[in-house]
Chain A
Amino acid sequence: MSTITDQRSLATKTGRLTAQPGTAGSSVRPGTTPAAGSVLTAKRWLSVMLGLSAAALMLLLACLQFGTQWIGAGQLIELLARLVRAGGTDAEAIGTTGVILFQVRLPRVLLSFLVGGSLASVGVVLQALLRNPLADPYVLGVSSGAALGVSLAILLGVGTTVLALSALPLCGFAGGLLSLVVVYRMAASYGRLPVHSLLLAGVILNAIFSAVIMFVTSIMDPNRSAGMMTWLMGNLSAPSYSALAIMTAYLMVGVFILFKQARVLNLLTLGEESARSLGVETERVKRLLYVVSALITGAVVSVSGMIGFVGMVIPHAVRLVLGVDHRILLPASALVGGMFLLVADTTARTLLSPAEIPVGIVTALAGGPFFIYLLVWRKDRFS
C-alpha cells in the first residue's frame, strides 16, 4: 500500500473518536484503530445474537403457557420430561394436556416465530433494495399477490392434492413475484421511487389483487370460502410436524441466502451505481434477492395468510437500537420479528379465548398506527 506522509498525530484524533451513545460499538478498546469504535465487530455481533436468541427461547416457553388452558411452568417441565421418556407425542403417554401442548400449541408457537422472522427479514431486504424504509411485503402488495396465487390454486383444486405441501407455496411465490416485478419496474424507471409513489403502487396492487381474491372467494362454495376469509385475515393454525419441518427447512434456506448478502445490502443502500463502482454485480444480486424474497413471502402467505406490518415495524425498531449495518440488522430483525409475531399470536388466541382473533388483525392494529406515525411525524427522514 502506498502510504501518504500525513504527520498529524493519530493520538489526538483517537480522543475524539470514542463512540457516542447510540452509535454502533460503544466499546473502544485502547490500542485498536480509532475507526473500530464505530463499526461492527464479530464479538459484538455474537453477544447481540446470543442475547436475542436467549430472549426468544424464554419468550417461547412463556408463550407456551398461555392458551384456553393455562399450563404452568412446573407442568410444562413435567410434560417435557414425560415426552422424552415416551419418545414421541403418543396420546396415552403424555395425557390430554400433553396433546394440547405438543400437538397444538408447540407447533403453532414455532410456526408463528418462523413466520414473523421470515417477514421481518424480507422487510429488511426490500427496504434496502428499494432504498425506502417504508417498504414491506404487505404494503407493497407482495403478500396480496401471493395470496391471490394461493387462492387461485385452492379454487382450482391444486391445494387438495398430495402436492399441497409444495404447490401452495409455489403458487404464492408466482403471485408474489408478479407484484415484485411491477414494483421493480417502477423503481427502475424512476431510479429511486419516492416514498409516496411506492406506497401508491402498493395500494393499487393491493386493490387489484383484493378484488380478484374477493371474486375467487365469491364463486367458491360457502364452507370453503369462510375458511378462506379467516386465512386471508392472517391466521396461524397448528401445522403437523412434518409440514412444519418442511416449512422450516424451506424458510431457513431462504433466510440464510438473504443473510449471506448482508454486506452487499449495505452497499446497495448507497444506490445502484455506487454499489457497482464498489464491486457489486448489482443485476445478479438484485435478481437473486427479489426472487428469494418472493419465494419466502409466497411460502409464508400460503401457511399464514396476510400478516401485515411485521416487515416494516420490526426493522425500524431494530435499526434504532442496533444501527443500520445489515450484518446485524438482518439476523436481529429475524429474531425480533419472530418474537413479535409470537406475542401477537399468543394475544390473538388468548384474548377472547376460546374464540380466536386472526393474528393479522392484531399486527395491523399494532403496526398501522406506527406506520402513520412514521409517515406523518418522521417524514423528514425519508421524503
Chain B
Amino acid sequence: MAGTVGTVSCDVACPAYRVQDLHFRYRTAANRTDWVLDGPTFEVKRGEMLGIVGPNGSGKSSLLKLLSKVLEPQQGSIDLFGRNLRRLSQNQAARTVALVPQESQQIFPFTVAETVLMGRYPHHREARWVAGFGWETDEDLAVAEQAMESADVAHLANRSATDLSGGERQRCVIARALAQEPQVLLLDEPTAFLDLQHQIEICAIVRRLNEERGLTVVLVSHDLNLAGQHCDRIVMLKEGRLFRLGTPDEVMRADILRAVYGCEVLVDRHPESGLPRITLPGRMGQKERMGHKEHKTDG
C-alpha cells in the first residue's frame, strides 16, 4: 500500500528501521540508573526477517514496544523508513507498523471479525456528523476478509474471540495486525504457549507473509531455534546492549551463547536446513561438566 496518503514512505534507499543509541527505562523502576535498553544501534533492512533474542530481562520486549511506538525512548532515535518515529502520530505509526503482542487477553466477547476489523482503526477517516462512530467502509471489510484468509481464521469469523484456542487466538491477532496493512510486522513471542502443530502453523504463516508480500518482520523469541531457522539475521541482546548482530551462522555459536547466557549448549546443524541448531546439554553432558568443574576447583 505504498503511496497511500499518510502512509510512511520515502525513497527506496532507506531501511525499514534505523535505530540509533537507544536508551529506555521504565519510569516506575525502583532503580532509576538502570537502563532497560542501553544504547543498541542497528538497522532493519526492508523485507528481511529479523530475530531479537537474548536472556530474560535483556530488553527484547521493550525494544519491540519501542519499535511499535507503544513506548517512547528517553534518548536516542528510531527512524521508520527514514522518518523519526517520535514525530509520527500514533495513527501514522499504526498504518505502517503492526504489533502482535505476547498475550492478548480479551475481556469482552467480540467476535473474530469484529476483532480483526479493529485493525482498520488507523485507516479511519473522520466523517462529520457521525464522527466517532466511524462505520467500516467496503474497503475495510474487504481488507479484513483478506487478512482473515491469510491468517486462516476466516472460518472463525463469527466465533467469540474469548473462546478460541491458543493457536486460533494468535492467528486472530495476526489477522488483526494484517488488517492494518502494515509494511512491518512485529511479533512478540509468537509461539509461546503453543503446541508443536500450532508453532509450525504460525511460523508458516509468518514466513509466507514475509516471502510473498515482502513484509518486513521483526520477531522476539525465547526460542533460539525458531529464530535460527526462520530469521535472515539475528540481534543478540545482553543486558540492554547489542551483543552481536549477524546471520544465524554468525550469531548462534557456542562461544557467543556462553558469553550471553552463561551456560554451555551444544551447537550442531539442522538436518534439513543446515542452519545452526542448539541443543541443551543432556544428562551425561551435565554430569561431565559438573565433574569437570569440581575437578577444577579441587586443583
Contact = CB atoms under 8 A, between A and B. Distances in A.
Interface residues of A, number: 57
A314 to B, nearest CB: 15
B22 interface: no
Given A2-B213, A36-B141, A39-B136, A278 B106 contact: no
A219 B38 CA distance: 60
Nearest to A12: B155
Interface of A is mostly: loop
B121 A278 contact: yes
Interface in A1-42: 1-6, 8, 10, 13, 16-17, 19-20, 23-24, 32-42
B11 interface: no
Interface of B is mostly: helix
A276 interface: yes
B181 A35 contact: no
A186 to B, nearest CB: 14
B141 A274 contact: no
Interface stretch (A57-65, A237-245, A264-272): A264-272
Contact of B122 (A24, A189, A278): A278
Contacts of B193: none
A319 interface: yes
B106 A24 contact: no
Contacts of B213: 2, 4
Nearest to B139: A1
B131 A260 contact: yes
Interface string A304-337: 0000000000000001000111010000000000
A370 interface: no
Contacts of A281: 89-90
Contact of A266 (B110, B116, B181): B110
Contacts of A189: 28
Interface stretch (B51-59, B91-99, B262-270): B91-99
Interface residues of B, number: 63
Contacts of B94: 277-279
A263 B132 contact: yes
A262 interface: yes
B104 A274 contact: yes
Among the interface residues B119, B121, B213, which one has the most CB atoms of the partner chain A within 10 A? B121
B142 interface: yes
Contact of A24 (B91, B114, B208): B114
Contacts of B109: 324
B246 interface: no
Contacts of A259: 132-133
A294 to B, nearest CB: 20
Contacts of A133: 107-108
B105 interface: yes
Given A263-B124, A276-B90, A39 B118 contact: no
Given A262-B132, A278-B122, A23 B111 contact: yes
B82 interface: no
B158 A17 contact: yes
Contacts of A4: 146, 150, 208-209, 212-213
A41 B138 CA distance: 11
A280 B143 CA distance: 20
A8 B149 contact: yes
A269 B95 contact: no
Among the interface residues A17, A263, A270, A279, which one has the most CB atoms of the partner chain B within 10 A? A279
30 contacts: A17-B157, A20-B158, A33-B138, A33-B141, A33-B142, A35-B117, A38-B114, A38-B158, A39-B111, A39-B117, A39-B136, A263-B121, A269-B110, A271-B105, A273-B70, A273-B101, A274-B101, A274-B104, A277-B68, A277-B101, A278-B94, A278-B119, A279-B89, A279-B91, A279-B122, A280-B90, A280-B121, A325-B110, A325-B114, A327-B133
Interface of B: 1, 28, 65, 68-70, 89-91, 93-95, 97-99, 101, 104-119, 121-122, 124, 131-136, 138, 141-146, 148-150, 154-155, 157-158, 176, 180-181, 208-209, 212-214
Given A1-B143, A325-B110, 12 more contacts: A1-B1, A1-B146, A4-B208, A32-B141, A33-B142, A266-B114, A273-B65, A274-B104, A277-B68, A277-B94, A319-B108, A327-B133
